[in-house]
Amino acid sequence: MIIVTGGTHGIGRATAEILCRSGAQVLIAGRDAEAGEAAEREIEGLSYFQADIGVDADCRAIVDRALELGQGKLRGLVNNAGLGKRHVFGETTVADWDEMMRINARSVYLMTRLSLEGLVAGAGSVVNIASVAGRAGEENLALYTASKAAIIGMTQSLALELGDRVRFNAVCPGQIGTRMMGSVLSDDTRRRTLELRIPAGRIARPEELGEVIAWLLSDASSYVNGAVIPVDGGETAGLRNPRTLD
């Protein structure tokens, strides 16, 4: 059994579908019951559990259900659910900070801690979805960047501590065509401006992230542990010469 949080849309949904096609049993968790129930109907091997990973009791309920379905063993955990918000730093509040850390970092800690016994029993693997913003700063993203940097640090530390029993890796998405990118994708000028930053010249499909995540959960990556893998079309490889729109 593999848990995918934030599995009703975007990267999570794409990952779950790829895993199920490979024969895995997957439990997706998310707040959108309509989307989750549709995924359960449409994808063989997938189960849906309505939950909010920002609520401690819901995290425990997700893990309990997955352990029930997996007979006490977990083959994988994908900590994908998260919050993306831009803030002008001088206008932020402690409540903004607490919300960002609760959703993006505390949930990863809690889901991992609650899943650990099942992951050890199943010789499982954890993939944490961080961000390219967790590896370098970005304007108006100080809180988000801090939360994603926390995920990267946690991933590497756990790989050192527990890597003989459970593998821990992080994926850092760049610009991905999900709901979070909706306002950019619907504006041709903004989209083209963004694409100029990316050596690949385009925004990624969620499935392209899902393939990397599925590989990290598979035996094909059995010696990959503590890795932080950017999936960003080369955006963070280094500095590019300025580009202009045609």
Residue-range domain boundaries for the chain: 2-175+206-228
From residue 205, alpha-carbon distances to 4, 11, 161, 221 in Å are: 18, 9, 34, 22
CB atoms near residue 68 (< 10 Å): 11
Active site residue 223: no
Q: Is the pLDDT of residue 145 over 90?
A: yes
What is the CA 88 to chain-centroid distance, rounded?
A: 24
Give Cβ neighbours of residue 108 (< 8 Å, ≥ 6 apart).
Answer: 79, 128, 151, 154
At residue 239, the 3 state secondary structure works out as: coil
Query: What is the C-alpha to C-alpha distance for residues 245 and 110, in angstroms, rounded to an integer?
Result: 45
Q: Which CATH class is domain 2-175+206-228?
A: alpha beta
The DSSP 8-state label assigned to residue 27 in this structure reads: E
Note if the pTM is more than 0.85: yes
Judged against a pLDDT cut of 70, whether residue 195 lies above it is answered with yes
Contact between 130 and 170 under an 8 Å Cβ cutoff? The reply is: yes
* Active-site pick, 48, 109, 144, 223: 144
Work out the average pLDDT over 121-140.
Answer: 94
pLDDT digits (tens, 9 = 90+) for 15-65: 999 999 999 999 999 999 999 999 999 999 999 999 999 999 999 999 999
- The yes-or-no verdict on residue 222 having pLDDT over 80 is yes
Using the predicted structure, report yes or no on whether residue 185 has a pLDDT greater than 80: no
Exposure on the CB side of residue 46, measured as CA atoms within 13 A: 28
How far apart are alpha carbons 208 and 188 in whole angstroms? Answer: 22
Residue with tokens 């199920």: 20
